[in-house]
A = this chain, B = another copy of it.
């Protein structure tokens, strides 16, 4: 049975895992130190548990206990039950979807093992926005990209907002993080991947004419500036999404990174 524990004081130390969920700097150090992450909402919590992430605890208003009862019963962790105002005081914002879970991070596999069975990869260089990372995982999962490889500084897919925007896809797509660009990309090359660099550059090859192969990795750059020159130089070919000539003339010269990633995943998977 679920261990329900009523809590009335936002300063209760047992709720420390849920402190100020929108404070990115605080969360980074707190989550790293304790090896935890936060899942929000019934659907996402269920996916996190189903993919083997052990719960440390749960925090929710009592109306969320019943819909989650079977999952709470199965988890060996306390369920802190508190009024909405208490949850808001701890989390620092009104938690609309109600239920929160603090879960244990699992050790990340290394790049070589994540890509061992993959044919279609995304490689993300230094994306800073958690919502974008989450949305890209959602695209990758839905369209059938086999794995994602992150640069050293790319935003954390298990940050609450990334998890939420991904609708839990961060648990469905295996991923690894490179320690160094050169070693990481070398690992991909040695595994036989063709590295394609997505760029708005008009001289790049259109996606529809991109070199294909048994194993293809698509490199995607950050929100503002796209891939850096170091990354572009390491790729086997630059590729682009064909843009409308009229749009270019009127100054609409790019897609946002999620739209670009969605199209690239679609082309990557359906083109082969």
Which residues of chain A have a CB within 8 Å of any CB of chain B?
43, 47, 135, 138-139, 141-144, 165, 167-169, 172, 208, 241-247, 250-256, 258-263, 266-267, 269-270
Among A141, A142, A266, find the residue whose CB has the most chain B CB atoms closer than 10 A: A142
Chain A to chain B contacts (Cβ below 8 Å), 25 pairs: A43-B251, A47-B250, A135-B259, A138-B256, A138-B259, A139-B255, A139-B259, A141-B252, A142-B252, A142-B254, A143-B242, A143-B243, A143-B244, A143-B247, A143-B255, A144-B243, A144-B244, A144-B246, A168-B251, A172-B251, A172-B252, A208-B270, A260-B262, A266-B266, A266-B267
CB distance from A84 to the nearest CB of B (A): 23
Q: How far is the CA of A250 from the CA of B244 in the complex (A)?
A: 36
Q: How far is the CA of A259 from the CA of B168 in the complex (A)?
A: 16
Evaluate whether A266 and B263 lie within 8 angstroms (CB atoms) in the complex, with A243-B142, A244-B143, A252-B141 already known.
yes
6 nearest CB pairs, A to B = A144-B244, A259-B262, A141-B252, A263-B266, A262-B262, A141-B247
CB contacts (< 8 Å) of A250 on chain B: these are 47, 141, 172
By DSSP majority rule, is chain A's interface helix, strand, loop, or mixed?
Answer: helix
CB distance from A128 to the nearest CB of B (A): 16
CB distance from A265 to the nearest CB of B (A): 8
CB contacts (< 8 Å) of A243 on chain B: these are 142-144
CB contacts (< 8 Å) of A247 on chain B: these are 141-144, 169, 172
Task: Decide if B266 touches A241 in the complex (CB within 8 Å).
Answer: yes
User: Among the listed B169, B208, B245, which residue makes an inter-chain contact with A252, where contact means beta carbons less than 8 Å apart?
Assistant: B169
CB distance from A253 to the nearest CB of B (A): 7
- Of chain B, the residue at the smallest CB distance from A263 is B266
Task: Decide if B47 touches A251 in the complex (CB within 8 Å).
Answer: yes
